[in-house]
Amino acid sequence: MASPEARIVDLEARTMQSPSDHVQRVWTAAALIVFVLGFFYLWNAVSPVHAVLFLVTGVLGVALYYAHFGFTTSFRTTIVSGRTVGLRAQMIMFALANVLFLPLLVRGHVFDHAVKASVYPVGLSVLVGSFLFGIGMQLGDGCASGTLYHTGGGDARGLLTLVGFVIGSFFGSLNYAWWMSTPSLGKISLIQSLGPLGGIAANFAIMALIFVGSLWLERRRNGDVEPLVTRRAWHVSRIVKGPWSWIAGGVVLAVGNFIVLALSGKPWGITSAFALWAAKLSAAFGYPVQSLPYWQTPQNAAALHHSVLQNLETTDDIAIMLGALLAASLAGALPKRYLRPLPWQMIVGVLLGGCLMGYGARIAFGCNIGAYFSGVASFSLHGWEWFAGALIGSLIGVRLRPACRLPNR
């Protein structure tokens, strides 16, 4: 992962080398039109809340693209070069999310509806699933959120990763019941176990430990510490055309996750939509997905019997890709050609990475957003278990990347 200065230079260079200002404006207009049409469709066909969240997650797509807020590269650069700026930015984002989430989670309801935290069992399924996800996100060159904003921003490899995600999600749903029978300590909520103050203190202590440990590691391996915020002159145009700092991106993501929680009653998630797409495709070919235990829970069964456009995570995922497309076109950074020839080793690696992430996300109760970000934000211990498993998996993933023609630096 490049330094903040290098990322700014890279985005500015791509802006200056824009293949056609006219083409970029066309894509900008197209993204805005789809946002408007999607908003009014969802307002009338589903609900006003669904429509508003479509716009909110679109802003999250813009933030992901402009801040290049990557979980995959954060883990990789920590391992490969000892640069931990991304990991430190995650801890700051989590701390802000905890402060925002805590009042709603303690109260238990807002806007006349219940609020449900992302708290899941701490056990073998999370450890194995996050481990597989960690390998997969290094091979796929992006996590769940990264895959979406890469795809929207013009990186065709994201499409291959998405295909793998859908395939892996299908097989994960097949084996879901077995994994749920593996050893587990049950659900552990820090605010339920330690109280609100004890819970936030415990979470902050873990974040502080990771933050300070990251500083120590980076200074030991590099002799200096990369700053979270650049010293370059700030201009209003950067809000619209980027790039954004790590801190700015993290703040927008934390606030966005809070808005998703407040309006929908549950935190931000991404990958359950991929499982739904796989189920819909399988059903279209005659496979009895409704007989699977995964699809027999009330929430999943309801999603299976309605249009995918009524599924919140599906429209959120679409909005993230549209937001990245809008950001890339505003920055003049869309590539000349979306589909470019790729080495067969890279194609195999990216597809395999997507499959591993899809499978891992199903058995680990989510991805880097649904399990890690939203889990930690919800004071669930399984979020930290996901972090540990994904980091260990990334250790293996970075060693496999060169075989797939993917650089580590």
pLDDT recorded at residue 211: 97
**What SS3 string covers 12-68?**
HHHHHCCCCHHHHHHHHHHHHHHHHHHHHHHHHHCCHHHHHHHHHHHHHHHHHHHHC
Model-wide pTM > 0.75: yes
Cβ atoms of 90 and 352 closer than 8 Å: no
Q: How large is the average pLDDT for residues 383-394?
A: 98
Helix (H) or strand (E) holding 121: strand 121-123
Percent of the chain as helix, strand, coil, to the nearest 5: 75, 5, 25
Q: Parallel, antiparallel, or unpaired for β 121-123 and 113-114?
A: unpaired
Which are the contacts of 318, defined by CB distance < 8 A and separation ≥ 6?
Answer: 38, 54
Q: What is the rounded CA–CA span in Å between residue 138 and residue 169?
A: 18
What's residue 335's pLDDT?
84
Compute the distance between CA of residue 388 and CA of residue 168 in angstroms, rounded to an integer.
Answer: 21
Cα atoms found within 13 Å of the Cα of residue 347, Cβ hemisphere only: 6
The fraction of the chain above a pLDDT of 70, given in percent, is: 94
The tens digit of pLDDT for each residue in 177-202 reads 999 999 999 999 999 999 999 999 99
Query: Domain residue spans in the chain?
Result: 4-404
Q: Which amino acid is at 100?
A: L
Q: How confident is the model at residue 395 (pLDDT cuts 50, 70, 90)?
A: very high
What pLDDT is stored for residue 53 in this prediction? 98
Reported confidence tier of residue 339, pLDDT bands at 50, 70, 90: low
Nearest to 76 by CA among 10, 138, 135: 138
Between CA 65 and CA 11 the distance in angstroms is 10
pLDDT of residue 20: 61
The per-residue pLDDT for 333 is: 86
Read off the pLDDT band of 160 (50, 70, 90): very high
Q: Can you read off the two tokens belonging to residue 397?
A: 């993933």
Q: How far apart are CA 34 and CA 338, in angstroms?
A: 19
Rounded to an integer, the average pLDDT of 371-390 is 98
Average pLDDT of the segment spanning 213-217: 97
* Site of tokens 């996300």: 361
Please check the confidence at residue 345 and state whether its pLDDT lies above 70. Answer: yes
Section 51-67 average pLDDT: 96
pLDDT over 60 at 9, yes or no:
no
What letter does residue 401 receive in the DSSP assignment?
A: G
Q: Is the pLDDT of residue 3 over 50?
A: no
Tell me: pLDDT of 18 over 60: no
Burial class of residue 228 in the structure, from the number of CB atoms within 10 Å of its CB (0-12 exposed, 13-18 middle, 19+ buried): middle
Assigned token pair, 352: 């395999």
